[in-house]
Structure 1
Amino acid sequence: MSTEYPVRAAAKARTLTELETRLVRCRACPRLVAWREETALAKRPAFADWEYWGRPVPGFGPADAAMMITGLAPAAHGANRTGRMFTGDRAGDLLYATLYDLGLASQATATGLDDGLELYGVRVTAPVHCAPPANRPTTGERDTCRVWLVREAQLMQPTLRSVVVLGTFGWQAALSALEEAGWSVPPPRPAFGHGVRTTLTPAGPTGAEVTVFGCYHVSQRNVFTGRLTPAMLRQVLAEAAYTAGLPVERPGPG
C-alpha cells in the first residue's frame, strides 16, 4: 500500500464512520505497520491473554462533538492493544477521569472497547494513528498520516469550536491539519506552551472560529515529575469545554 492511500481514502469519506472504516485498513507507513504488528504479537506479559488490536486506531467520540482533544499517537500497549485512543494506559486513566469529573464522560475509567464508555460533546483523536517505536513518529510518518486528521476536522466543522492539543508534537501537527481543513492560523505561527490559546478563523465565508488550547501531554513522565498536575489538566479542559459551549462551570483563574 502506497502513501497515496490515505489521501484517496480520506477524501472519499463522507462521514466519520466511513473515515474510521478506511483508516483502520491503512498500511501506508512500513515502519509503523511492522512495529504495531510486532508489538501485537509479542505482547506485554501482563496482557498475555489479550488479543491486541494491532491496527491504526481511529478517533473516539460523537460525530457532532464541539471539542476535540488530540495527542501524539497510540501507545504500544495502550490504544494499540485496546483499539481506542488513550484507553488501557495511565495517560488515558488521567484524561478520562478528568473528563468524567467535568461531566463530559459517562465513567472515569477506560479499559477496552466493550467497557461502555461514552463521551459527551468531546472527540479524542491523534495526528498519528499507529503506535510508533519509542513513541516517536518521524516527520514523514506524521505528514503521511495528517490527511486523516484533516478530514476528521473537516467533517466536524459544523460543530467544532475548540481543540485541546497535548504536547509540542501534537501542537505542530494539529495547527497544520486545521489549516488544511479550512481555518486560518494567525501569523506568526503561535508556539506551543501549556495554557497557550489561539483562535483560528474560517478561511471561507462559512464556518465558525475554533480556539486551540495547548496543554502538556498526559504522559506518565509529565505527571510523575509534576510538570502536569491533575488540576492543570482540569483547568485547560474546562476552559476548552466552556469555550465550546459545553455544559461545564465557567473555570476560575488557572
Structure 2
Amino acid sequence: METGTGSGTGGGLADLDERIAGCRACPRLVDWREEVARTKRAAFADWTYWGRPVPGFGPADARLLIVGLAPAAHGGNRTGRMFTGDRSGDVLYQALYDVGLASQPTAVSAGDGLELYGVRVTAPVHCAPPANKPTPEERDTCRPWLVRELRLLRPTLRAVVVLGAFGWQAALPAFAEAGWTVPRPRPVFGHGARVRLDDALRPAEGKEEGGGGLDVFGCFHVSQRNTFTGRLTPEMLREVLRTAAGAAGETGLRAPGGAG
C-alpha cells in the first residue's frame, strides 16, 4: 500500500493503515469513490486515482492528532493521502509548516517527500462521500477504525485538533471507546473550544496500560467555504495549532516559517 513518507511506520499503525485501505463496508461510499476514480476530473485525467479508503498520515509516536471529516473526491481519493491535492489541504499543510510541524508547505502527492513532525492527520470517515456529506450510519460504521487508531496512539498522544462540528461529533464517542473520559453533557463544538479528557484506563489498569490526559481543541474546518469567506483565516488556524502543539509538548523539529 502506498502511504508516502511520514506515514505511520509502527507495526500496529502500518497494519491498521493497510486494513483501512481494503475496507468495503459502506456500499454507497464504495460506489462513489470508485466512480470518481474511473471518471476523474479533466485536470487530473492523466492520474491513476487511489480510489480506496484513505488511511491516516503521520508518525506512529505522534503527540498531536488532527481529525478532519473525510477525504475529498479529487484530493485524498486521488492521491491516497489525507488532505493532499486539494484546496483544504493547501491551507492545512501551509499552517502546519508555518508553525514548525511539517517539512514543507505543500502536499501534492503521496510521494512528494512531505514529513510531519509529532503530528498525525486522520478522519472519522476514510472514504470520499458524495457532496462531502457522509451519513450518520457511515460515520458510525467507520468509527472502529478511529478508535483503533486512537488506542495505538495512546502511549504518546496528548492533544487533538478537531476540524468542524461533524468531526467533533464523531470523535467524542471514539475518545470514550479508546479510553478517555468524555464529560457529560458532551462538550459543544466551537472554534477555539478546549476540553480536557482524563485518562480512564490509568486508574484501572496502571500507568503502563494508560496513556495520559488529552486536550481536545475545536477549530473551524479548512473547507473552501470557511477559508474563502474568512470565517477561518490562516492566523486563526495557526493559533489553534500552536496552542494544541504546546499542550501536546510538541514544538516541531524545524524553525517556524515566516508567517507569524
Normalized against structure 1, the TM-score is what? 0.92
Greater relative CO (CA pairs within 8 A, separation 6+): 2
Measured in 1, the distance between the counterparts of 2:248 and 2:52 equals: 31
State the one-letter code of the partner of 1:30.
Answer: P
- The Cα of 1:207 is off from its aligned counterpart by 2.2
1:1-254 matches, cutoff 5 A: 15-205=12-202, 206-247=210-251
Check whether the contact 2:157–2:211 (CA below 8 A) recurs between aligned residues. Answer: no
Measured in 2, the distance between the counterparts of 1:37 and 1:176 equals: 29
State the one-letter code of the partner of 2:234.
Answer: P
State the one-letter code of the partner of 1:45.
Answer: A
Secondary structure of residue in 2 paired with 1:103: coil
Q: How many residues matched?
A: 237
Normalized against structure 2, the TM-score is what? 0.90
Q: Percent same amino acid among aligned pairs?
A: 70
How big is each residue's C-alpha offset from its partner over 1:31-85, in whole Å with a ceiling of 9 and x where there is no partner? Answer: 0000000000010000000000000000000000000001100000000000000
- The Cα of 1:186 is off from its aligned counterpart by 1.1
Check whether the contact 1:14–1:155 (CA below 8 A) recurs between aligned residues. Answer: no
Measured in 2, the distance between the counterparts of 1:160 and 1:222 equals: 28
5+ residue gaps, structure 2, are: 1-9, 203-209, 256-260
RMSD: 1.2
Check whether the contact 2:222–2:232 (CA below 8 A) recurs between aligned residues. Answer: yes
Measured in 2, the distance between the counterparts of 1:172 and 1:117 equals: 29
Secondary structure of residue in 1 paired with 2:66: strand
Check whether the contact 1:107–1:117 (CA below 8 A) recurs between aligned residues. Answer: yes
Runs of at least 4 residues off by over 4 Å: none
Match of 2:206 in 1: none
Measured in 2, the distance between the counterparts of 1:72 and 1:247 equals: 25
Larger displacement relative to structure 2 (210-219 or 199-208): 199-208
Secondary structure of residue in 1 paired with 2:172: helix
Check whether the contact 1:71–1:167 (CA below 8 A) recurs between aligned residues. Answer: yes
Match of 1:3 in 2: none
